[in-house]
Structure 1
Amino acid sequence: MPLEMTKERLKAYRSNKAEILELDYALQNRWKSDTMIGNDVLFDYSKGYPMPQCVVGFDQEKYERLQDRDLNRKQLLEAECREVEQFVEGVQDSLTHRIFRMLYIDGRKPIRQEQVAKSVHLDRSRISRKIDNYLKNAQKAQNAQL
């Protein structure tokens, strides 16, 4: 069962999309990083007593651990983004759909309600009320289904 949609989840969408891109980059390029080079100490007993010897190389365990962590985080963020996109696409009213899309989905930079209001020929307070009312009604509808 999906969580209820809130303004916070909608506002986090752009940040989540940016983090997904960063994780993609890390997943593809981590093996090139100097941070994957590790060292260890082995003791050489060839002379009858321990002599420490340094061994330097690629740290496979660290690499796999970081890859798993980032892949899990990426999958979690992608699922969250899909829920937000499905919620916005499910908005039936054309004007409300455009408002949600402009405010939360489209573009890389956040847009202010004043800018959305100007593009849909409403005042900012009407935009805010439309969002609040739609989210409140969506929550009521979800609770009614339970």
Structure 2
Amino acid sequence: MICFKYNKTKVKITEKNINTISRVVILALGIGSVLLAIKPPDLIFTLIMFSIALVMPLFPTLIFAIYWKRGTTPAAISSSILGVITVLITYYFGYGNTWYGAFGMLVSILVFVVVSLLTKDDSAEGSDFYKALDTGMNKYYNLHVD
């Protein structure tokens, strides 16, 4: 038996009840998803496009942080924030139709490079990460630099 404590009262729920509740919730979510898939509202397209646009400025930060040794922590933070702000501004003012995610990604790239070149990151964690990355690359890939 599993006991949940909420507001200083004990609610006792058996595993059988948890399984039943889980199945009902999954069934309800499945039926709701099927109904939305049959006749999706216009809002779904807007939400999907907006979520993609908000993730686009984060992608260059991820790639630069992994593969560019000169990348710094302040550059990652500032490029992520300014890229998302750019997406929100271009969406709010209606610039670029559905291309506002691309504008945010471009700003994110530029900010990351500029801030990385202007700041210095002396973290030892970064050098350990790149040593481990190089070790893995040399172990699993046959790379020879002449």
The answer, yes or no, to whether TM exceeds 0.5 is no
TM-score (norm 2): 0.29
Instruction: Give the TM-score, by structure 1 length.
Output: 0.29
Instruction: Name the one with the larger strand percent.
Output: 1
**Bigger CA radius of gyration:** 1
